[in-house]
Structure 1
């Protein structure tokens, strides 16, 4: 199964200047729980936004740069198709960004695990529109803002219709 994992604002904002716009600790915990032990596919800029590779995950980095130097244990490929082809067929694969990789993935993904942040932000990276004729919302869990979370948000699970 190919699953897209993302956090996007109401205007589909993902980030600005290769960084997240909000800080939602519970979303980070959920992301870790969903992706740990799996292959995670991302674009080069998304990978470079991490201080270091995320523990207990196999990083598959998509880049057009020839001879891109990635840390040991990270896989580097030139396309989304190549990224998927080098992942184990019997395991779940997670696509974690950024905007361009998400757009390419919408045609082939089976599931979307989206954290919808209930605010709008200025951004330079955006999540693609979720077309409800192609996707069905199967689960939603609302979380009101609190002392650790500045915004209301919901975990939303979509499966291909």
Structure 2
């Protein structure tokens, strides 16, 4: 199963200047819980936004740069090649950024989305979820609190 996992605002903003524009610790915990032990596919800029590779995950980085070879990662030139080198009998997570989500949505069977209930100025966006193709099967609202500046909802979609 190929799963896109993201946190996106009401206007589908993902981030600006290669950084998230919000801080939701519970969403980080959920991301870690879901993706640990799995292959994660990302673009070069997303990978470079991490201080170091994420523990207990196999990193597949999509890049057009032929000499790009970060330590501990497999680098490929396309979404098709990224998917091809992942085990076909395991969950594979596409973790961003915006361009990679656009490339990945045709291949995806499931979306794990954290919808941040605010609009942000951004330069990277999650693709619009077409409800003709996707069905929401789970929704769990979370109130803002002392550690979370914005309300948010965990949403799970499956391809129809």
TM-score normalised by length of structure 2: 0.99
Q: What is the match of residue 15 of structure 1?
A: 15
SS at 1:96 equivalent: strand
* Residue matched to 1:40: 40
SS at match of 1:105: helix
Corresponding position of 1:95: 94
Structure 1 counterpart SS, 2:67: coil
In 2, Cα distance between the equivalents of 1:97 and 1:89? 20
Equivalent-residue separation in structure 1 for 2:19 and 2:69 (angstroms): 21
The aligned counterpart of 1:57 is 57
Deviations 1:4-53 (CA, angstroms, capped at 9, x unpaired):
00000000000000000000000000000000000000000000000000
2:119 equivalent in structure 1: 120
- Count of aligned positions: 160
| Partner of residue 68, structure 1 | 68
CA deviation map 1:36-86 (0-9, x unaligned): 000000000000000000000000000000110211x31100000000000
| 1:122 positional shift | 0.2
TM-score by structure 1 length? Answer: 0.98
Query: 62-71 vs 113-122, which deviates more?
Result: 62-71
Q: Distance in 1 between matches of 2:89 and 2:116?
A: 32
- RMSD (CA atoms): 0.5
Q: Distance in 1 between matches of 2:89 and 2:137?
A: 24
- Range with greater deviation from structure 2 (73-82 or 113-122): 73-82
Question: Partner of 2:45: helix, strand, or coil?
Answer: helix
For 1:40 and 1:128, the matched residues in 2 are separated by 19
Which contiguous aligned blocks of 4+ residues in structure 1 show a shift greater than 3 angstroms?
none
* Structure 2 residue aligned with 1:107: 106
Stretches of structure 1 that go unaligned for 5 or more consecutive residues are none
